[in-house]
Structure 1
Amino acid sequence: MRHFDYKNGEMYAEDVPLRKIAEAVGTPCYVYSTATFERHYRVFADSFDGIEALVAYSVKANSNIAVLATLAKLGAGADVVSAGELARALIAGIPAHKIVFSGVGKTKAEMRDALEAGIRVFNVESLAELRALNAVALSMNTQAPVAFRVNPDVTAGGHEKISTGKKENKFGIAWSHAEAAYAEAAALPGIKIVGVDVHIGSQIDQLAPFEAAIAKCGDLIKTLRQQGHTIQSFDIGGGLGIPYGDNTKAPPLPSAYGALVKRLTADMNVEMIFEPGRMIAGNAGILLSEVLYVKQGEDRNFLIIDAAMNDLLRPALYDAYHDLEGVKAPARDFKQETYDVVGPICESGDTFMKGREMPALEEGDLVVLHSAGAYGAAQSSQYNTRPLVPEVMVRGDKFAIIRERPTVADILKTESIPDWD
């Protein structure tokens, strides 16, 4: 569910007209709905009523501290992949004991930061990382709680660049090496084994891959316990897809996912950990933009908007679909047009959609790119020296800027010309 709807002929975010935000903040800008974040978190968390579970929101999906603080108030934990994300989670009020640290390239400095904070668990992805973590923990006279991220060789994910559970992916310990990895960890004095971790991909639109991975890991947990290892937690990552409005297969409901998990893990005697990101954030945000020009091409029409691939990278990176609507509702007798919707960056890849039919738009019209709350602002850059766009949070009939647009002067002051004399 999203709280971006037409009222009296124009689109609102909850009870705030998007036109009002555009006038106050400028375009392009991201707009988030607090009500959507809250509803999505509750729907997901409620799916696991009756079992011991931690919902550790995947910070990489949308890392704004206002978003994290909103989720922290609901009881969310955090899945982080850098010291920066760890700092964001702590500042936002997420307790360290609800934070899990993932990622294939943790540095020793990041390990120290996480150990000092007292995080819940490190999801370790290689033996080299394990040995480095052991050394850091011993230097601090402590033990690091770990779960190995195991790679079950299960195919999942809506695009090859977001599939993480196949044997050719860079993530996790190879399945055939898992038992040996736990044996080595058990022998290291700076390591404390606490669980098993798996993550098979993103934007998954069916339950079968989850079922395969959970069942496979269930067998591994039994084996590890027989070998004397203490397995208290089972982290099955995130990956549940969302509807993007492209008429593709609708992903499973969180309630169906929760029922599957509870059925498959009923006899495992573990605390479950989940790392949802897109499912909570994706449809909680939109990218608000303005039409700059309508350009007549030789064989097509181009709708040139002021948002660009540096603001929303997903279409260029993943060929991702985003629904587009005008902020002003189309008239009953609207004219239908077909556009390639593009941005102003000097790259052919700066294209949001091709051959898309929609009500005709004109220069100066405001438009919305839906489902942009996850991996939108978080992946944005200042390519072409375009300032990062503002982020705005709406709650009811109020809105607040939660990330300001920097000026070009703000960007340039971080650089300097060396004095070689």
Structure 2
Amino acid sequence: MSADHERLAGLAERHATPFHVLDCARLDEAADQLAGVLGTLSRETRVYYSVKTNYLPFILRRLAARGMGADVVSGYEMDAALAAGFDPADIVFNGPVKTEAELAAAVRHGVRVHIDGEQEIAVMEQLAAEAGHPVEVGIRISPGVPVSTSSDPSYRAQATATALRNRFGWPVGSAELARVVALIADSPHLTLTSVHAHLSSQIVHEELMLRAIGRVLDEAAQLHRRFGLREVNIGGGFGVPGIRRPRTGPLTALWAQQGGIPAQDEEPFLDVARLLPAVDGLMARAGLDGVALACEPGRWLVSDAMSLVTRVVSRKELPEARWLILDGGSNVAPWAGTGEVHRIEPIGRTYSSRTSTWSVSGPLCYENDIHASAVDLPDDTGPGDLLCLRDTGAYSLGRSNNFIRTRAAVVAVDGDDETLVWRAETGTDVFLLADPSPQPATDPGVEPATEPIAPARAAAAPVALAAGTTW
């Protein structure tokens, strides 16, 4: 058993499964790698961590301490970023909906707003006028071309239609974009200084991404000649190698139903060490010298910095399937049921060298609570054994829920240190917001049945929290 597996198994002796493990060294390594690539470019660069990807305060504080900026898409994310220590001048507020109260808070704190709704312009102009000083804003635009492809033509058709119907920002070269830009230009207290485009998520086709970014830069160059931009923000969505998303359409499904064997496309690898210098070159050729290049990585920074440790509860061998049922389901791994494939590794003991094909599910009474429909795992895997699901750092905490089961804890490991940085949700937490005048949900003499289940092989030992730890 590897040292990593031993460490994870040891944590399972002290924490109730399921729980996430945050590897601080891996988070730091990703941040260092990105900084190294950006440091080679010919222009000023900025990184805004995408808070929606994982809003764990421990992560926010660690990245803020490195001097990163933050990308937020809601008022409470803005509050979290400010509380974590991000400089307000290094926070950008994106997203299709921003309330007047949220916009007022952004102006009050000096957070830059990227316009993604026409109604935001009049509100921002009034707020800036009341503040008595000009306010810088950005605008979100859309290139209108797909950034992923497949050997399945029906998938390609869907991707093209989705790109053209994109509801975020305004299409490059369109009359709608020109009209919105004119509204900003006619606002005495607003100054357009940045262009923003977020293309998609888990992008792995570098050439398609560069084609889309090229269209964004062509538009940005025109705006730069008119307004004098300070920054072009290409968003994030940089694909990571630890997960795989299906890129198939209805034609593949139909072919499979007829007994065909659909083609398995090779998964490309997106290398930011190639991508970002290429974008730098495109900016130079577009005449954007002196304009900073910004990006908003989220998944790329945190995806493989977290793993989920979960325990096999049941082994069920049926005529048409062999199931391993875990105590961690789609409530704590929200990508389950969407087809996103994550690595699953057995840990905690020495297993048989013989493997079998297993279907792996969570504990929810919900038919799509499935981690993998077919994965090779040791033949002797069974109840009580531990499994590790890799790459759970992105969109796990914020999108987790308490449908049927409660949310999981997060334990951070930093060298020899081990810190509980997000406690497991309890049944009491689930109903905390219920009823204006709270009433006891159960007989006070009866212990609740919804507390986390202690590890099967060892008693759960309390873990002291680091000073100042919040959740």
Alpha-carbon distance in 1 for matches of 2:426, 2:221: 57
1:295 aligns with 2:285: no
Q: How many residues align?
A: 404
Q: Secondary structure at the match of 1:24?
A: coil
- Conserved? CA contact 1:164–1:201, under 8 Å: no
- Cα deviation, residue 162, structure 1: 10
Q: Which of 423, 426, 431 matches 1:407? A: 426
Question: What amino acid is aligned across from residue 368 of structure 2 in structure 1?
Answer: G
1:227-282 per-position Cα deviation (integer Å, ceiling 9, x unaligned): x3221110110111001255952422221112212211234120111100111011
Which residue number corresponds to residue 368 of structure 2?
A: 349
Which residue number corresponds to residue 184 of structure 1?
A: 183
1:61 aligns with 2:53: yes
Among the aligned pairs, what percent are the same residue? 27
- Aligned residue runs from structure 1 range 3-402, under 5 A: 6-7=2-3, 11-12=5-6, 17-49=7-39, 50=41, 51-119=43-111, 121-156=112-147, 166-175=163-172, 176=174, 177-226=176-225, 228-244=226-242, 248-266=266-284, 267-269=287-289, 270-316=291-337, 318-328=338-348, 330-331=350-351, 334-360=353-379, 361-384=381-404, 386-402=405-421
- Conserved? CA contact 1:157–1:200, under 8 Å: no
- Conserved? CA contact 2:408–2:423, under 8 Å: yes
Alpha-carbon distance in 2 for matches of 1:183, 1:22: 58
Q: Secondary structure at the match of 1:325?
A: strand
Alpha-carbon distance in 2 for matches of 1:149, 1:413: 38
Alpha-carbon distance in 1 for matches of 2:230, 2:161: 24
Q: Secondary structure at the match of 2:342?
A: coil
Q: Secondary structure at the match of 1:66?
A: helix
Alpha-carbon distance in 1 for matches of 2:119, 2:48: 25
Alpha-carbon distance in 2 for matches of 1:413, 1:65: 21
The verdict on how the C-alpha distance between 1:390 and 1:224 changes in structure 2, with shifts beyond 3 A counting, is same
- Please, what is the CA RMSD of the aligned residues? 2.4
1:328-384 per-position Cα deviation (integer Å, ceiling 9, x unaligned): 3654x5221111111111110111110212213111011100011111112101112
- Conserved? CA contact 1:313–1:376, under 8 Å: yes
Which shifted more, 122-131 or 30-39?
122-131
Question: What amino acid is aligned across from residue 79 of structure 1 in structure 2?
Answer: D
- Cα deviation, residue 218, structure 1: 2.4
Give unmatched runs, 5+ long, in structure 1: none
The verdict on how the C-alpha distance between 1:329 and 1:207 changes in structure 2, with shifts beyond 3 A counting, is farther
Alpha-carbon distance in 2 for matches of 1:275, 1:248: 26
Q: Secondary structure at the match of 1:122?
A: strand
Alpha-carbon distance in 2 for matches of 1:60, 1:390: 18
The verdict on how the C-alpha distance between 1:103 and 1:291 changes in structure 2, with shifts beyond 3 A counting, is same
Alpha-carbon distance in 1 for matches of 2:108, 2:46: 21
The verdict on how the C-alpha distance between 1:165 and 1:301 changes in structure 2, with shifts beyond 3 A counting, is closer
Give the TM-score normalised by structure 2.
0.81
Q: Secondary structure at the match of 1:130?
A: helix
After TM superposition, the runs of 4+ consecutive aligned structure 1 residues lying more than 6 A away are 158-165
Alpha-carbon distance in 2 for matches of 1:299, 1:250: 33
Question: What amino acid is aligned across from residue 154 of structure 1 in structure 2?
Answer: V
- Cα deviation, residue 293, structure 1: 0.6
Which shifted more, 297-306 or 408-417?
408-417
Q: Secondary structure at the match of 1:340?
A: strand
- Conserved? CA contact 1:240–1:251, under 8 Å: no
Alpha-carbon distance in 2 for matches of 1:18, 1:134: 53
Q: Secondary structure at the match of 2:227?
A: coil
Give unmatched runs, 5+ long, in structure 2: 245-264, 439-471
Q: Secondary structure at the match of 1:379?
A: coil
- Cα deviation, residue 163, structure 1: 10
Alpha-carbon distance in 2 for matches of 1:396, 1:243: 25
Give the TM-score normalised by structure 1.
0.90
- Conserved? CA contact 1:390–1:404, under 8 Å: yes
Alpha-carbon distance in 2 for matches of 1:311, 1:209: 32
Question: What amino acid is aligned across from residue 403 of structure 2 in structure 1?
Answer: Y
- Conserved? CA contact 2:236–2:298, under 8 Å: yes
1:72-109 per-position Cα deviation (integer Å, ceiling 9, x unaligned): 12221111101111111111111111111110011111
Question: What amino acid is aligned across from residue 300 of structure 1 in structure 2?
Answer: A
Alpha-carbon distance in 2 for matches of 1:329, 1:123: 51
- Conserved? CA contact 1:165–1:201, under 8 Å: no
Question: What amino acid is aligned across from residue 233 of structure 1 in structure 2?
Answer: E
1:136-195 per-position Cα deviation (integer Å, ceiling 9, x unaligned): 333443443211100110212589999998221211113202233222101112322111
- Cα deviation, residue 304, structure 1: 0.4
1:110-155 per-position Cα deviation (integer Å, ceiling 9, x unaligned): 1111111111x21211222222322333344344321110011021
- Cα deviation, residue 408, structure 1: 1.0
The verdict on how the C-alpha distance between 1:245 and 1:330 changes in structure 2, with shifts beyond 3 A counting, is farther
The verdict on how the C-alpha distance between 1:22 and 1:162 changes in structure 2, with shifts beyond 3 A counting, is farther
